[in-house]
Structure 1
Amino acid sequence: MPETFLIVGCGVFGLSTALELAKQGHKVTALDLYPIPSKWSAANDLNKIIRTEYSDKFYAQLAVEALKSWENDPLYQDVYTKSGRITLSPSSIENQHRLRFEDQGFENLKELGVDVSDIKHLTTGEEIGLMFPGFKDNELGSINARYNPNTGYGHASKSLIKVYEESKRLGVQFIFGSQGHVKEIINQNSIKVESGEVYTVDKILISAGASTGFLINLQNQIKATGLFVTHIQLTSEEYEKYKSIPIFFSAELGYFFPPDPINHQLKIAMTFSDARNSIQDPFDSSNRQSLPRYREEYQNDTFPKDGEYHVKLLLKKLLPELQNHDLIKSKVCWISDTTDSNFLIDKVPGLENVFVACGDSGHGYKFLPNIGKYISGIIQGTEKDQVLKDKWAWRSTNDWSKQLSSRAKRPQIDLNNSIIDWYIEK
């Protein structure tokens, strides 16, 4: 029978689930403080990597399924670019776990029956320059890298808008502003918003990303991690020169995308350091946890000034002509990390009809076309895949000293407890 659902947070997990439930004929209301693309969503961005290489075969299979939708579904085709991706394997001993991750990811694709014959192993920067003229002046030297031509990137904000418009067409009611800003879960069927209204439905999904910990006691399962992102503006001539480069990814140096075809901006993500924001736990005054703070309130939050050196180093090695460009649209992108990079999608203990979907761990965006199918199955109790349910289950113990993500190896700056010399854009 049709049910009524309330979705709190209109990022990737929330929008994907709203669309799936609407397709099934349910009545869905979706709330967010901001219109789509929500300023609080990690996917409110120029672009995001879509890859299929995973050391965990479960996620590799899920990513292969998602990629088929990006390539073939009319809803996603226009917001996906098959650019290919060069992955530079790390050279330092501290990052050898990343090398194992990449090698296992390649093997998993083969075991899943994916044609990997086009994936090329590269040993010198000269090879990269011969393949892609935009990289002809690179200074990489001897390397260990792979080029996978069968992946690319999603136009992130635009894809959220596409799913939003399709969901609205199918009857999802979206509410923004103070009437969409949830402040409290009253009971298992009701929430209260900033404007004072109370919404009551059959089932509630909290999919507020890194901000989920403001609404639910997540019991140390999630930490909000801030990733530093910036951009450079290319001229029309530079765009023509570099428009055909693939994504370049290095866990040590950072990574960047081909320039955007509309605004000619090239997005750069830094890996020299991450951020946390340690504040009092809303549900435990004796505990502190990392929860996000956003640019709307903290206008100076760009990236620590020493990050400029790392951006210049990355560009000097790959695109030396661009190394002195001014950095623009710099920001902290907040994600919700788990200790093992598994998502957290489950019923909230003690609240029979309240569910949570978060823990993207920086790799959730690519599943925009298919994650809603699985979230809706968990909410409705129809999902039969026990492996999936176990991976995404509410965790009773969480040892952050054993965090598996490569981010665990990076320095972390506490924005609440550190004096930071922020980069000031010109």
Structure 2
Amino acid sequence: MIQPDDKILIVGAGCFGLSTASHLLNRGFSDITILDKAASLPAADAASYDLNKIVRTSYDDVFYTKLAQEAIAQWKTEEWGDTYHECGVLVLGHSDDKHSYSSQSYVNDISVGARVAVVENSTEIRNKGMFPDGVRVASLQNTAGYLNYDGGWANAAQGIELLTSKIRARGGKFVPGKEVCRLVRNAEDGRTRGVECCDGSVFDADLVIIAAGAWTASSFPQLQLKEKCLATGQSVATIQLTAEEAQVYRRCPVVLNFSTGFYVFPPNQDNVVKMALHAAGYTYVPQQHDTSSPSNDLGISTPRTISNANENGLRIPKVVLAQLRAHLREVYPDLAEKPFLGTRLCWYNDSPDGDWVIGFLPDDPAVMLATAGSGHAYKFFPVIGKLVADAIEGKLEPLLASKFAVDRRHSDVDRSRYGQTVEVLHLDSLCTPEDLRP
């Protein structure tokens, strides 16, 4: 059993790593070191270090609905300042199929007492005051859903910066620029006693927590995690508004359409509108001559970002850029005529069923996995580390321990995604600056 004075080493300074460190400090653990491959922190490549993330209770799994409700209560506390913005989330894609993702989400929202307003058709969406005066909303044909007032968005980068600062102030240690390449194990019993970095440095630990996000499978190829943790690139685009334009759109809800995967935020503090597709995404396996990945000969999908592909790491497939503009036109036709400011491939670590991976390696009680956010971890940032801390202390409810187990059987798929076919990223298909124009 891990003790509060044991040496804890966390690999990854993203959502899982930071939240876990914070909750362990809350429980009296005093020797916590966080390693990250980024040269400076917060890591610009991390999926969690972003303009904004949706905060919603609308899940077809009531466990996440209830946990999101708990997280929102924490987001609203003084500890998080103005990180969270409760503008509401318009959940589209409602259908007559009571087993559809959005229909079951509605049932779960009602079961926890969420404030919702049902819209049966596109006319009601436009006429029920869900968008402020002055915002021209498109026809939204064949679309129904509901507005969940108990949700909105979080300034993702601000939250990461805030918790990083708090962990430092409480004695947590950060070591940037350390890319971990392998676990170091005792020859006698095979138990992990630390990690070795690509520069040859070794860090000893009583417990190693792997919270490396989309780099998990490729950084630790010896663990053979690629069937449990898949790095997928998700396409994001932004539009710059003037201050006057942003003022008109700022009171809009987050729009999330489960039928198409498209979602769009209201403008942030810099008057930038972000949109994306919640889809199966793209995988990328570096070529043999690319030595940036230690697993490039094992067929393991590896993030391609600005740190290992320069500015080209921000480009998304041209076909998806066109899809984003078409979907935006179906919501905000005026914005769809503006040029894109930029794009980004945001790299998720996906599990086959969309549930997180939280648990000890079956053959090594000195290694805990806390990963596979599957595109829906950040909204739980204030509380997700509690689950990891419970697992470390042996307090995680048995049903949850099974739900998140490393060696669980995957009998379901992530039904929140648009499409279930993951595509291979081809570099010759990426957009160019010319494609950003309408």
Verify same fold: TM over 0.5.
yes
Instruction: Tell me the amino acid that sits aligned with residue 216 of structure 2.
Output: T
1:344-397 Cα deviation digits (max 9, x unpaired): 11111332211111111111111110111110121232x141111110101254
Please report how far the alpha carbon of residue 422 of structure 1 lies from its aligned counterpart in structure 2 after TM superposition: 2.3
> Is the Cα–Cα contact under 8 Å of residues 168 and 174 in structure 1 kept in the other structure?
yes
1:296-347 Cα deviation digits (max 9, x unpaired): 2223241111223222222222221111211123111111111111111111
Partner of 2:235: 228
1:98-143 Cα deviation digits (max 9, x unpaired): x71122122223333x243x43334224542551125434222453
1:294 has 2:305 as partner: yes
More strand by share: 1
- Partner SS for 2:364: coil
Counterpart selection for 2:251 from 222, 230, 244: 244
> Is the Cα–Cα contact under 8 Å of residues 128 and 135 in structure 1 kept in the other structure?
no
Q: Structure 2: state its 5+ residue gaps.
A: 186-191
Partner of 1:334: 347
Counterpart selection for 1:392 from 404, 428, 436: 404
Equivalent-residue separation in structure 2 for 1:284 and 1:266 (angstroms): 35
Counterpart selection for 1:53 from 54, 58, 61: 58
Rate the CA distance shift 1:395–1:195 in 2: closer, same or farther, 3 A. same
Partner of 1:145: 145
Partner of 1:163: 163
> Is the Cα–Cα contact under 8 Å of residues 47 and 153 in structure 1 kept in the other structure?
yes
Q: Structure 1: state its 5+ residue gaps.
A: none
Equivalent-residue separation in structure 2 for 1:115 and 1:295 (angstroms): 39
Equivalent-residue separation in structure 2 for 1:289 and 1:384 (angstroms): 31
Q: Pairwise CA RMSD of aligned residues?
A: 2.5
Partner of 1:65: 70
Instruction: Tell me the amino acid that sits aligned with residue 122 of structure 2.
Output: T
Partner of 2:188: none
- With normalisation by structure 1, the TM-score equals 0.89
> Is the Cα–Cα contact under 8 Å of residues 134 and 245 in structure 1 kept in the other structure?
no
> Is the Cα–Cα contact under 8 Å of residues 11 and 209 in structure 1 kept in the other structure?
yes
Equivalent-residue separation in structure 1 for 2:148 and 2:262 (angstroms): 18
Partner of 1:360: 373
1:407 has 2:417 as partner: yes
Instruction: Tell me the amino acid that sits aligned with residue 109 of structure 1.
Output: D
Counting matched residue pairs gives: 411
Partner of 2:34: 30
1:422 has 2:431 as partner: yes
- Partner SS for 1:146: strand
- With normalisation by structure 2, the TM-score equals 0.87
Instruction: Tell me the amino acid that sits aligned with residue 29 of structure 1.
Output: T
Instruction: Tell me the amino acid that sits aligned with residue 81 of structure 1.
Output: H
Rate the CA distance shift 1:130–1:101 in 2: closer, same or farther, 3 A. closer
> Is the Cα–Cα contact under 8 Å of residues 344 and 393 in structure 1 kept in the other structure?
yes
Instruction: Tell me the amino acid that sits aligned with residue 202 of structure 2.
Output: V
Equivalent-residue separation in structure 2 for 1:104 and 1:366 (angstroms): 19
- Partner SS for 2:100: helix
Partner of 1:4: 7
1:202 has 2:206 as partner: yes
Sequence identity percentage: 28
Instruction: Tell me the amino acid that sits aligned with residue 383 of structure 2.
Output: N
1:161-203 Cα deviation digits (max 9, x unpaired): 11111111111011112xx221221121211123332111211
Please report how far the alpha carbon of residue 40 of structure 1 lies from its aligned counterpart in structure 2 after TM superposition: 3.0
